[in-house]
Amino acid sequence: MKYFFVYAHPEPISLNGLLKDEAIQALTAAGHEVEISDLYAMKWKAVADGEDFPERDRATPLHYPSESGKAFKNGTQSVDVAEEQRKLLWADVVVFQFPLWWYGMPAILKGWVDRVYALGFAYGVGEHGGARWGDRFGEGVLEGRKAIVAVTVGGRMSHYGPRGVNGAIDDILWPVQHGILFYPGMTVLPPAVLYEVERSSEESVKAMVRVYVDRLLAAQTTEPIGYRSQNGGDYNDVQVLKPELSPDARGLAVHQHEPAFVSNTSLGTSGKYTPQHFAPTSRE
């Protein structure tokens, strides 16, 4: 299979660097093909602005989505953007690997999304209006591909459980997993979430590498997160979930087939940390 890593970490000699290197080595050894966009190493342009469209009419105010759509259609996109789109289309499995910074992606990775997800490529695809609102959430140009988030977290696992103070990790990752990866049609696999990475022993690091590599190697056979598809009959004509579905559920879990998926809900043992990666469990 073809794995495409979108990777964001500023320091090669780091846990993230090690995880990435080990993952690529294991995948290659198993006969898979790998491409990587190491955003820091590439000095990826993070900020979406008018410079992305050198051919645009500078006499008119910039409307980023329109310019993005025009450039995509006319083949006048920045070379860097077009190249990332090519990699996405090439891949069978797209891996987003990053450290969780302020409950989200580092800016450089967010800027990869802002720029690469052009109008006509990742959104604005299909019919828009009335009962239908685009080929998205289950459909789209990246349909058929799998996506997996691999994220390192400084905080403790208990803080990210269903009632942990930070909010459940599934909910924190919702904008990335549902809003960015599922949106253009990718199937989203359970994330590899590695906690308390600032104080991990050598043994813990080995376990983390093992978990991450296992997740990647098993991509083809892993049960994905059961997000409901937008145009599959679960939502009404203004894209609101029909009342008879998940009637008793609350929160973002309503948008998953039951039983709704929860990642890594068990508590890390403070002070005596060993990574604990549990099978998905259900949440009501």
283 touching a second copy, by CB under 8 A: yes
* Count of beta carbons in the 10 Å neighbourhood of residue 131: 11
Least distance in angstroms from the C-beta of 22 to a second copy = 17
Find the binder of a second copy among 102, 244, 272, 279 (CB under 8 A).
102
Supply the minimum distance, in Å, between the C-beta of residue 251 and a second copy.
2
Question: Which parts of 139-198 interact with a second copy (CB under 8 A)?
Answer: 154, 156, 158-159, 161-168, 171-172, 174-175, 178-180, 183, 198
Member of 70, 253, 261, 277 binding a second copy (CB under 8 A):
253
Q: Is 250 near a second copy (CB under 8 A)?
A: yes
Cis peptide before 259 (omega within 30 of 0): yes
Q: Per CB under 8 A, does 272 bind a second copy? A: no
> How many Cβ atoms are within 10 Å of 202's Cβ, its own excluded?
7
* Among 111, 140, 190, 191, contact with a second copy (rule: CB under 8 A): 111
Min dist CB 107 to a second copy, Å, is 3
CB 109 within 8 A of CB 6: yes
CB–CB of 187/228 below 8 Å? Answer: no
CB of 221 to a second copy, least distance (A): 28
Q: Is 136 exposed, middle or buried (0-12, 13-18, 19+ CB in 10 A)?
A: buried
Per CB under 8 A, 20 contacts a second copy: no
Residue 93 contacts residue 145 (beta carbons within 8 Å): yes
User: In Å, what is the CA distance from 242 to each residue of 130, 185, 188, 232, 236?
Assistant: 16, 21, 23, 12, 6
Residues between 33 and 92 that touch a second copy (CB under 8 A): 40, 46-50, 61-65
Which of residues 13 and 279 has its CB atom nearest to a second copy in the complex?
Answer: 13
Which residues have a Cβ under 8 Å from the Cβ of 147 and sit 6 or more positions away?
93, 94, 95, 96, 177, 181, 182, 186, 187, 188, 189
Closer to a second copy by CB, 171 or 210: give it: 171
